Amino acid sequence: MSRTLTSAPVRWIRRWWPDALGGLLAVIYAMPSLWYPFAKDHPIHWYIAQRLLEGELPYVSALSTKPPGVFVVLSAATVVLGDSMATVRIVDLVFLGLAGWLAVTFRMPRANGLVAPARSPGELGAAWVLAATFHYTFFDFSDTGHPELWQGTFMLASLWLLVRSPDRRVSPRRALAAGAVAMCAVTFKHVAFTTGVLAGGVILWWGLSRREAREPLRNAALFSGAVFATLGLVLLPWALSGAFDVLWESMVEFILRYARKSGPMGIGRRGPIPFLTYDHGLFATLAAAAALVAGLAVCRAQRNRHELRVGSLVLLSCLVALLSIAIQKRALYSFVWTYYFVTLVPFLVLAVSWGLRAQSIRRGLSHLAIAVSLMAAFFWYQPKGTHQADHTYLREHQSFWPYLIGRRSAEEHHAPHRDGPLEDFNRLSVVGAYINTRAQPGDTLCVDGWVMMLYQMTELRCPSRFLYGDGARRTPEWRAEYRQMLQREPPTFFVTFGLRPRVRQLMARGYTRHDIEFEDAWYTVLERPRDQ
């Protein structure tokens, strides 16, 4: 008995040490991201999540095109992890861990319930290394921390629930769960509905291919019912509070207007899709495609119909993920929206993991070695950041570790963390620090553009639901609403830029002016007199 008790921990260590090693490498690789500041959209998500914690429904206090699941996740993460810019980065890391696990366990059991091939030690660690590699090497600080990763993970999870059905026989419980999870993916980004369509089609096809009708129709009905039931639960708070019109305005009217102004699909446009270029994400996509195609070829040559079915679903899921990106149009012709491609990360991991397994590479340590080799190759290859063309993840690491031990200043380390001359973390930190020296309890703030990071830096509320002013994508009605706010509830502080007309307008109403100038940026902080 003592021999058995002694050998059990040894067996456990032998089984899990390769995965633990891969997980440790992934966390170390991801560490610089935990010190990333906010970029353009992050402050909106943070602001609405904070208001949700205070009991305000999303879209009542601030307008956004993101569905409510984004704010639920961020508010829950804030409760657990605290309020900081690092919170959303930790959420990313958790979702990467989940995506890696889903990719490795994306296997269809036989009719007897046994999974073949069984997972070997090191495969999970390899998937975690791949997830960190694809996410952090090819997407910079501005592209990460968005709900696209969470959306992609839930899209994969919905299909995972189906592929785990023994011999393609989907149980009613799995159909219900897959429908609910597919709808949860839509609560992060509307375009995730594409996976719901695929999952519903898979349920029908698997049943009909066995020349059965009753079972697949029942499961498809259960899947659809779970989708609509989950949707109903999501909509319920707005319906009960009488704020459904606000939800409709943000989630339907605003998004349709946004889509109409998104530009062409890219048909007739010269040049490749920006993300799929030599200096950016091309080789990540090619590596995943090569592994997947090789796996399909081996399965076909071996006449392994069971694994070929799994591989076909992997291929379809990757194509559907790409479709969800293409629907949004903008990512096809501009680097500004390359973060849409973060949706692919879980599916890139899935393609490589399944491809290696299908090629009869059974030893998990071999998977881990290949994953680490890819990490090293891509790391040294240095794909460029989409917002800072001369900054790479290798340079991020070279700056981060000296910064962590105090040999590099925060200002030096954060110098590349900027979306433009105005959306610059270091510069906005100076503006935020100035406002904090002047602010008093109950003060409010408005900003005139994409410098919404100031809301987080100052923790001041905006009296308007238009967090970045009355400029881009505003209707005449919305502009009128914003200007009425300036009359009825003038903010204590208004941050704009030196030559804009609003400077003169507010100074005529008694606001005082303080300019903060840099070489290629000029911020104007307007402050309302306390007696007004």
Tokens of 184: 């949860």
- Return per-residue pLDDT of the chain as tens, 532 residues: 444 445 777 777 777 889 999 999 999 999 999 999 999 889 999 999 999 999 999 999 898 989 999 999 999 999 999 999 999 999 999 999 999 999 999 998 877 666 666 778 899 999 999 999 999 999 999 999 999 999 999 999 999 999 999 888 999 999 999 999 999 999 999 999 999 999 999 999 998 888 888 899 999 999 999 999 999 999 999 999 999 999 998 898 888 876 666 554 444 445 678 888 888 889 999 999 999 999 999 999 999 898 999 999 999 999 999 999 998 877 777 767 889 999 999 999 999 999 999 987 778 889 999 999 999 999 999 888 777 777 899 999 999 999 999 999 999 999 999 988 899 999 999 999 999 999 999 999 999 888 999 999 999 999 999 998 876 557 788 888 899 999 999 999 999 987 788 889 999 999 999 999 998 889 999 999 987 6
| Contact by Cβ (8 Å): 469, 446 | yes
Asked, for residue 400, whether it belongs to a domain, the answer is: no
Residues 282 and 350 in one domain: yes
Tokens of 146: 């968005």
Widest CA span of the chain, in angstroms?
Answer: 88
Number of structural domains in the chain: 2
Residues 239 and 101 in one domain: yes
Residues 376 and 452 in one domain: no
> Which one, of 209, 211, 198, 207, lies nearest residue 172 by Cα?
207
Question: Which pTM value belongs to this model?
Answer: 0.93
Residues 355 and 432 in one domain: no
Residues 370 and 429 in one domain: no
pLDDT of residue 119: 79
Give the position of tokens 């899209």: 155
Asked, for residue 143, whether it belongs to a domain, the answer is: yes
Helix (H, G, I), strand (E, B) or coil at 272: coil
Residues 367 and 256 in one domain: yes
CA–CA dist 219, 207 (Å, integer): 9
pLDDT of residue 100: 98
Residues 133 and 35 in one domain: yes
CA–CA dist 340, 241 (Å, integer): 33
| Contact by Cβ (8 Å): 142, 342 | no
Tokens of 282: 């091309």
What range defines the domain where residue 338 resides?
Answer: 2-148+235-381
